[in-house]
Amino acid sequence: MIIGIPRSRSVDEFRVGLPPRAVAHLVDRGSEVVVERNAGAGSGFTNEQYDAAGARILHTLDEIYGRADIVVKVNQPVPEEYPLIRSGQILMSVMHLAVADPRLVDILLERRCTAIDFVTIQDEQGNLPVLRPLSQIAGRMVPQIASRYLQTDHGGQGILLGGAPAVPPAEVVVIGAGIVGRNAVRACIGAGARVTLLDSDFDRISELDWTFPGQVTTFQANEATLRKVLSYANVVVGAVLIPGARTPHLVTKEMVGLLRDKSLIIDISVDQGGCFETSRPTRLSDPTYVVDGITHYCVPNLPSLVARSATYALSNAILPYVSEVASAPLAEVLAADPTLSRGVNVLDGQVTHWGLALARDCDAVSVSQACGGSDP
């Protein structure tokens, strides 16, 4: 199979699907890899490095889609790519199809493509092995973003995140104790902030309370506790995830009004709809907007701020799956790897993930059925 790596056309996206060392791994195992010219430039990878790794450099996006059996990207295809998607092609990327442009889903269905969404690849225990490293990076970036937008010159409250002698630190509230939330808590504690965490899962709350004894205040998430913490927060981090489905708006516009003037919202869940009613996607080159005096930072591709680190982190997680898909007939690969199979959202003209089916108000079939088999 030929694996294609296009240059990202998404706004302010600097990552690339695979770095040269991952390409070398695939080539060593018999795959042919084609890379669009300058695809890795945003992450600091040169055409010469890809060439040395064994890839063939192609000059146009048309050539990539025209030759590749498998297209590996960071984000979902953009409208410029829709006409180029070929019948039966396999697309592997962070897609978020439940909140994607419906035209893209229609095309994937009509052309009987296979869409593997990295963020819905899930093991038996419910862990998300590809989303995990991206979530870790996003969570660990919270202090540096918060520090910048609390500064006076960025329209903030003029508060030092970690405080100073006889000067209290900022109050950071994290909603959600998943991978993003845990890493945000860890990073903010390390930066000296006072941290409050809310989640509906008591076991997760207990784990974080045990991990950071006396360093984090925890609450069971409900409307009353949300209102309480919003009344004193300087920074509120949205870190809620329902894999493959739209994130619910846990904080209404009226509740946002409880925050003090020039407080900061960082909605890391915005790539799946956001957990604040006032959230809307922004871009790295214009990341914030203000609603009723509250600064909102809502960048869907937050890890792209550290594009090289994020590319390596993503590659470490996806390389085994890309190698699997390229090594054998797809039906065999999916039957042998249930974790990868759960990442399939569209297959052979059918929706195969419940989150996408819910968003489109249609039925989902199992991957096994879509492959022409039957459920055990």
Indicate which residue of 117, 267, 271, 348 is catalytic: 271
**CATH 3.40.50.720 intervals, the chain:** 2-128+307-370, 131-305
Buried/exposed code over 249-286 (b: 16+ C-beta within 10 A; e: otherwise): bbbeeebbebbeebbbbbbbbbbbbbbbebbeebebee
Architecture of domain 2-128+307-370: 3-Layer(aba) Sandwich (3.40)
Q: How far apart, in whole angstroms, are the C-alpha atoms of residue 149 and residue 143?
A: 10
Q: How far apart, in whole angstroms, are the C-alpha atoms of residue 290 and residue 292?
A: 7
Each residue's pLDDT tens digit in the chain (376 positions)?
999 999 999 999 999 999 999 999 999 999 999 999 999 999 999 999 999 999 999 999 999 999 999 999 999 999 999 999 999 999 999 998 988 899 999 999 999 999 999 989 999 998 899 989 999 999 999 999 999 999 999 999 999 999 999 999 999 999 999 999 999 999 999 999 999 999 999 999 999 999 999 999 999 999 999 999 999 999 999 999 776 677 888 999 999 999 999 999 999 999 888 899 999 999 999 999 999 999 999 999 999 999 999 999 999 999 999 999 999 999 999 999 999 999 999 999 999 998 899 989 998 999 999 987 655 4
Q: How far apart, in whole angstroms, are the C-alpha atoms of residue 318 and residue 343?
A: 11
Instruction: Write the class of the CATH domain 131-305.
Output: alpha beta
Q: Is 154 a catalytic residue?
A: no
Determine the angle formed by the axes of helices 307-327 and 131-140, rounding to 10 degrees.
170
**Which residues, in sequence order, are CB contacts of 83 under 8 Å at separation 6+?**
none
The end-to-end CA distance of the chain, in Å, is 29
Q: How far apart, in whole angstroms, are the C-alpha atoms of residue 3 and residue 28?
A: 13
Confidence at residue 376, expressed as pLDDT on a 0 to 100 scale: 46
Q: Is 296 a catalytic residue?
A: no
CB atoms within 10 A of CB 361: 6
Confidence at residue 248, expressed as pLDDT on a 0 to 100 scale: 84
Confidence at residue 338, expressed as pLDDT on a 0 to 100 scale: 95
Confidence at residue 126, expressed as pLDDT on a 0 to 100 scale: 87
